[in-house]
Amino acid sequence: MKPLLTYTLRQGDRALILAQRLLETITHAPEIEEDMALSNLALDLIGQARALYTYVAEIEGDIDGAVRDENHYAYCREQHEFQNPLLVEQPNGDFAQIIVRQFLHDAYAFPYWRVMQHSTDETLAAIAAKSVKETAYHLRHSRSWLVRLGDGTDESHRRAQAAVDQMWRYTGELFETDEVEQALVSASIAFDPDELRNTWLHTVAGTLTEATLEMPDDVVMQNGGRSGRHSESFSRLIGELQVLARAHPGATW
């Protein structure tokens, strides 16, 4: 049960933290349509996080008998307890950075959910069947923006390339495997991340070419998200996420 708990929690954290970053951009997007798009992406991700955390609460309750709900995992954990990949917590920066972070994530999340529909875990398979449809639109969106920026003006090209160079170092962690993941792969609850990496690389390479952008090579990959080692700006993100719940525990609308 413990590996399933940790694994599901990591996926929930990935969705929640990216949603929180996207929510910071509301009213700051370059055009109103994009403001709506980014907030809709965030809503989908929050929906996915809620489903995953609700399942985590169920698994953890089966282990220790305690009653928790989805909110516990979002609002009542310390920052080192979050196990999201570092990519999704990267600060927003300019619009190119927002789009590149999103694209590198979506190119992972879409094939991830597609394969997870075949998980032997019924709940994860059901969440995957729902999420894959939403994520297909996320990928379409971030992919078309990346092509537009890369193959746009000199300035948008320069910024898009800088964002790719900046974010690339956080992509290796998406495909890392450890004993938690291996336990689930052998039970066909999760799937081989190497295969996922090939699919991801295919999408990313094709899109970068279309966007006239270079794929970085020789980059030292950063990790640590899974062990709760986050970047400095992460503490401010968590602070903002949890401020209301900490100031008024148990508050409702």
Partner 1 sequence: MTVAASLGDLVRDIEDPELPHVTIGDLGIVRSVTIHGATATVLLTPTYTGCPATEQIREDVADAVRSAGLEPDVRLVISPAWSTDWITERGHQRLLAAGIAPPPPADEPGVTFVDPPVACPRCSSRRTRLISHFGGTACKATYVCNACSEPFEFFKAL
> How far apart are alpha carbons 70 and 66 in whole angstroms?
13
CB of 99 to partner 1, least distance (A): 13
Q: Three-state SS string across 185-197, please?
A: HHCCCCCCHHHHH
How big is the site for partner 1, counted in residues (CB under 8 A)?
Answer: 35
> How far apart are alpha carbons 118 and 65 in whole angstroms?
29
CB of 43 to partner 1, least distance (A): 4
The backbone torsions φ and ψ at residue 10, rounded to the nearest 5 degrees and listed phi first, read -60, -40
How does DSSP classify residue 249?
Answer: T
The token pair at 140 is 């379409």
Rounded to the nearest 5 degrees, what angle is found at the Cα of 232, between the Cα atoms of 145 and 36? 30
Binding to partner 1 (CB under 8 A) within 128-187 occurs at 129-137, 139-141, 143-144
**164, 208 contact by CB (below 8 A):** yes
Task: Tell me whether residue 95 or residue 170 sits nearer to partner 1 (CB atom).
Answer: 95
Report if residue 23 touches partner 1, rule: CB under 8 A: no
CB of 218 to partner 1, least distance (A): 29
Which member of 10, 21, 50, 226 binds partner 1 (CB under 8 A)? 50
End-to-end CA distance of the chain: 34
Radius of gyration of the chain (CA): 18
Which member of 3, 24, 34, 72 binds partner 1 (CB under 8 A)? 34
Which member of 126, 162, 201, 245 binds partner 1 (CB under 8 A)? 126
CB of 118 to partner 1, least distance (A): 14
CB of 29 to partner 1, least distance (A): 10
How does DSSP classify residue 228?
Answer: T
> How far apart are alpha carbons 196 and 174 in whole angstroms?
10
Task: Tell me whether residue 170 or residue 207 sits nearer to partner 1 (CB atom).
Answer: 207
Which member of 21, 22, 44, 170 binds partner 1 (CB under 8 A)? 44
Task: Tell me whether residue 79 or residue 144 sits nearer to partner 1 (CB atom).
Answer: 144
CB-based burial of residue 18 (10 Å sphere; 0-12 exposed, 13-18 middle, 19+ buried)? buried
Task: Tell me whether residue 109 or residue 163 sits nearer to partner 1 (CB atom).
Answer: 109
The token pair at 242 is 């949890």
Binding mask 191-220 for partner 1 (x = CB under 8 A): ------------------------------
Enumerate binding residues for partner 1 (CB under 8 A): 33-34, 36-37, 40-48, 50-51, 110, 114, 122, 125-127, 129-137, 139-141, 143-144
